[in-house]
């Protein structure tokens, strides 16, 4: 069955919708749980991973490599949850993290300002002015976060399969609409979409492994997986890093073959493309 991701503004009703949908469909309802999954799997403090998903760009611009690493870990954890299907995810950027899989339904929930203000006041015990300030601050942070990481606008309707305003339809009405979407032919898993999910999950596992391993963490590479064959492209600053990449990638569960075309840059110059059968290269001046 289809996987559902729900994007929402603060106090817009997204969590309530996710929980109702999960109960109706017999799905798992997940949000911050993927952060704890990643923390346990990769040995990173959960609060640091949470910050990678929540802190504004100004914080992470100072720690670009670390931020990217943490996001890789969280994405890998989410993909592992999604592989089993029957998942409702209402955490950060699910519609972007699970890109390229056709049986993922991407829903955005919006609500009028008064609804959100009342919810914030009731759930957080805030005054009206405090609720307004809090909502604006969180929404602004999410807009900046999405723009900084993905180069897209959080509110862009084209990123979603449905944008639902719960002002009139309510949570119950929104739930009924998404339940109907789950049954649509276009969102049913196919052999191709299931393979896309497996490929994405393997890609994320390999990226996480390369990021985590101290020998390959500094490499700037792009990873693509298809049916167990992993293709890695990019550059490194040393041959020992380049040589370690296929070794680390090959150790990941599910990898059948690694095809690496990673190159080494020497003072702005790029070496010959790496091939497992290539003869040893000489560094400039040797």
CATH number of the domain residue 155 falls in:
3.40.50.300
Residue 197 forms part of a structural domain: no
The total number of structural domains in the chain stands at 2
Q: Are residues 20 and 151 in the same domain?
A: yes
In a domain, 176, yes or no: yes
| Within a domain: 128 | yes
Do residue 217 and residue 182 come from a single domain? no
Same domain, 127 and 250: no
Residue 132, classified by CB atoms within 10 Å of its CB into exposed (0-12), middle (13-18) or buried (19+), is middle
Q: Annotate the chain with three-state secondary structure.
A: CCEEEEEECCCCCHHHHHHHHHHHHCCEEECCHHHHHHHHHHCCCHHHHHHHHHCCHHHHHHHHHHHHHHHHHHHHHHHHHHHCCCEEECCCCHHHHCCCCCCEEEEEEECCHHHHHHHHHHHHCCCHHHHHHHHHHHHHHHHHHHHHHHCCCCCCHHHCCEEEEHHHHHHHHHHHHHHHHHHCHHHCCCHHHHHHHHHHHHHHHHHHHHHHCCCCCCCEEEEEEECCEEEEEEEECCHHHHHHHHHHHHCCCCCCEEEECCEEEECCEECCCCCCCCCCCCCCCC
Q: Tokens at residue 21, please?
A: 């949908």
User: Looking at the structure, do residues 91 and 133 belong to the same domain, yes or no?
Assistant: yes
Assigned token pair, 32: 């911050």
Residue 98 lies in a domain: yes
**pTM recorded for the entire structure:** 0.82
In order along its 286 residues, the chain shows pLDDT tens digits of 799 999 887 888 899 999 999 999 999 999 989 999 999 998 888 988 887 777 665 554 545 556 677 888 888 999 999 998 899 999 877 888 898 999 999 999 998 889 889 989 998 899 999 999 998 888 887 787 777 767 788 788 999 999 999 988 999 999 999 999 999 999 999 999 999 999 999 999 999 999 999 999 888 899 999 999 999 999 998 999 999 999 999 999 999 999 999 999 865 555 554 444 333 333 334 4
Q: What is the domain extent for residue 252?
A: 213-270
Q: Is residue 220 part of a domain?
A: yes
Same domain, 98 and 178: yes
């Amino acid at each position: 069955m289809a996987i559902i991701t729900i994007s929402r503004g603060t106090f817009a009703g997204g969590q309530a919708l996710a929980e109702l949908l999960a109960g109706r469909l017999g799905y798992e309802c997940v949000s911050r749980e993927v952060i704890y999954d990643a923390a346990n799997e990769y040995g990173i403090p959960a609060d640091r991973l949470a910050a990678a998903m929540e802190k504004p760009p100004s914080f992470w611009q100072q720690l670009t490599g670390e931020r990217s690493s943490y996001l890789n870990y969280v994405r890998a954890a989410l993909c592992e949850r999604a592989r089993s299907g029957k998942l409702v995810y209402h955490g950060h950027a699910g519609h972007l993290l699970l890109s390229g899989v056709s049986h993922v339904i991407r829903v955005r929930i919006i609500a009028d300002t008064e609804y959100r203000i009342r919810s914030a006041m009731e759930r957080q015990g805030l005054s009206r002015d405090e609720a307004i300030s809090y909502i604006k601050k969180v929404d602004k942070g999410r807009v900046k976060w999405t723009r900084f990481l993905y180069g897209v606008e959080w509110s862009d309707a084209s990123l979603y399969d449905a944008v639902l305003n719960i002002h009139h339809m309510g949570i119950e009405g929104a739930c009924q609409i998404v339940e109907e979407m789950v049954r649509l032919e276009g969102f049913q898993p196919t052999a191709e979409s299931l393979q896309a999910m497996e490929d994405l999950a393997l890609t994320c596992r390999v990226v996480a492994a390369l990021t985590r391993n101290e020998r390959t963490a500094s490499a700037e590479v792009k990873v693509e997986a298809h049916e167990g064959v992993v293709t890695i492209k990019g550059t490194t600053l040393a041959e020992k890093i380049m040589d370690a990449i296929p070794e680390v990638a090959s150790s990941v569960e599910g990898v059948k073959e690694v095809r690496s075309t990673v190159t080494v840059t020497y003072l702005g110059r790029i070496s010959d493309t790496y091939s497992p059968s290539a003869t040893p290269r000489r560094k400039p001046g040797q």
